[in-house]
């Protein structure tokens, strides 16, 4: 049976899922972490609950790809590489070039390389992954799936900043958003759960994990989204600041004698939950500390929930209503307290959840109370499934 592998390369990680096609059954999945460090960690789940784990150094992403492909043979997950007929790569930034997933060619690789300045932590690693897989699987149908492409449909009034227009024309200065593959999946699944065509619904999807973004979906398309030119904008995140006055950035650069790169590093890696609380970037630690009476932990929660509610409220106003809100990703799927805190502040919109239904982790479920006017859904995201479905769609057109 033909197999398709979906690949997600981060700055120091490589995640994958291997699917039997066209059944879409997951054959194996796993993660290689701490690539480029002194010691890495590999974990592969396969078969009937089997697991392979190993501590081993990975010099770079090419080494991680070669290790993964070797293990697929060694663990008898595949008999030969010929079984893998397609590879899908998740790419963070598609810029103005890519408004849909696309078959990978030499020209596409060149354009992705040009876009590296938009996502310097991710795009170079993703390029290495593309080239490494192409070397071992030269005949596999290869596709790039872009995080930003779903948001290419945003009207200009939401996509552009109030800065000189030629910045957009000359340099592509606009809101690109992120997590588009996740927002696209949960929106389609929400429409199925509600029994209505996606184009007839007004949805607000909340991908709330370490990185987090909120998207307004209208007429089946991204109408607005919280992340901006880069993923540092939007709501408060684990280590990212979210929205901040640029004048404050310039002010603090002067006070602390920081370079632009140093300031961007602080906004990306030392702000958000860890910056406010001083405790941890992990929501579970923040909740535990708040329960123990830690004032800064409670303030962190208040700010976190406030920013989510602020975006939801603005999107309801922008779209002229909402039919359902959707929680997904790490915090959204697994933190019942956060879901309760957010929805408790949205009662005036007719958003209300059943507390017994909300007492769950990572289970697809309608959380709505019986008298709710707006549905609240919990939908675990599945970006890899969207990647393989994009591959199948593009195969039919090639």
Catalytic residue ranges: 147
3-state percent helix, strand, coil for the chain, nearest multiple of 5: 45, 20, 35
Gap between the terminal Cα atoms of the chain: 21
Non-local (6+) Cβ contacts of 323 within 8 A are: 194, 196, 201, 202, 203, 374, 375
Query: H or E element: which one contains 145?
Result: strand 141-146
> In terms of DSSP bridges, do strands 202-208 and 40-46 run parallel, antiparallel, or are they unpaired?
unpaired
CB 101 within 8 A of CB 146: yes
CB 387 within 8 A of CB 9: no
- Alpha carbons 136 and 69: distance in angstroms, whole number: 8
Q: Which residue has the tokens 């307004």?
A: 216
Nearest alpha carbon to residue 205 among 187, 223, 232, 192: 187
Determine phi and psi for 128, rounding to 5 degrees. Answer: -60, -40
- Alpha carbons 27 and 3: distance in angstroms, whole number: 9
Burial environment of residue 331 by CB neighbours within 10 A (0 to 12, 13 to 18, 19 or more): buried
């Amino acid at each position: 049976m033909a197999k398709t592998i979906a690949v997600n390369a981060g700055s120091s990680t490589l995640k994958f899922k291997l699917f039997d096609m066209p059944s879409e059954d997951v054959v194996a999945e796993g993660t290689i972490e701490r690539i480029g460090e002194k010691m890495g960690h590999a974990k592969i789940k396969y078969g009937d609950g089997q697991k392979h784990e190993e501590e081993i150094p990975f010099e770079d992403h090419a080494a991680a790809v070669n290790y993964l492909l070797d293990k697929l043979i060694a663990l008898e997950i595949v008999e030969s590489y010929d079984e893998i007929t397609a590879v899908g790569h998740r790419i963070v930034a598609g810029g103005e070039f890519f408004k849909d997933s696309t078959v990978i060619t030499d020209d596409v690789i060149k354009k992705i390389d040009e876009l590296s300045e938009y996502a310097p932590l991710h795009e170079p690693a993703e390029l290495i992954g593309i080239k490494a897989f192409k070397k071992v699987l030269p005949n596999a149908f290869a596709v790039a799936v872009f995080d930003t492409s779903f948001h290419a449909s945003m009207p200009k009034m939401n996509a552009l900043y109030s800065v000189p227009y030629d910045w957009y024309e000359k340099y592509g200065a606009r809101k690109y958003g992120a997590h588009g593959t996740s927002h696209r999946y949960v929106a389609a699944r929400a429409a199925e759960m509600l029994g209505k065509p996606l184009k007839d619904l007004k949805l607000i999807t909340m991908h709330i994990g370490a990185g987090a973004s909120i998207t307004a979906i209208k007429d089946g398309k991204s109408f607005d989204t919280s992340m901006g030119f880069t993923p540092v904008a939007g709501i408060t995140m684990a280590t990212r600041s979210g929205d901040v006055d640029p004048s404050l950035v310039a002010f603090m650069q002067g006070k602390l004698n920081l370079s632009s790169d140093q300031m961007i590093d602080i906004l990306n890696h030392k702000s958000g939950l860890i910056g406010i609380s001083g405790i941890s970037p992990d929501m579970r630690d923040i909740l535990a500390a708040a329960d123990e009476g830690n004032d800064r932990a409670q303030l962190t929660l208040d700010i976190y929930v406030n920013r989510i509610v602020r975006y939801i409220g603005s999107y309801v106003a922008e779209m002229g209503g909402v039919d359902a809100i959707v929680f997904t990703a790490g915090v959204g799927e697994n933190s019942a307290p956060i879901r309760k805190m957010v929805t408790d502040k949205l009662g005036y919109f007719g958003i209300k959840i059943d507390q017994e239904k909300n007492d769950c982790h990572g289970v697809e479920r309608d959380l709505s109370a019986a008298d709710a006017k707006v549905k609240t859904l919990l939908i675990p995201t599945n970006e890899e499934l969207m990647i393989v479905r994009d591959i199948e769609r593009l195969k039919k057109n090639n």
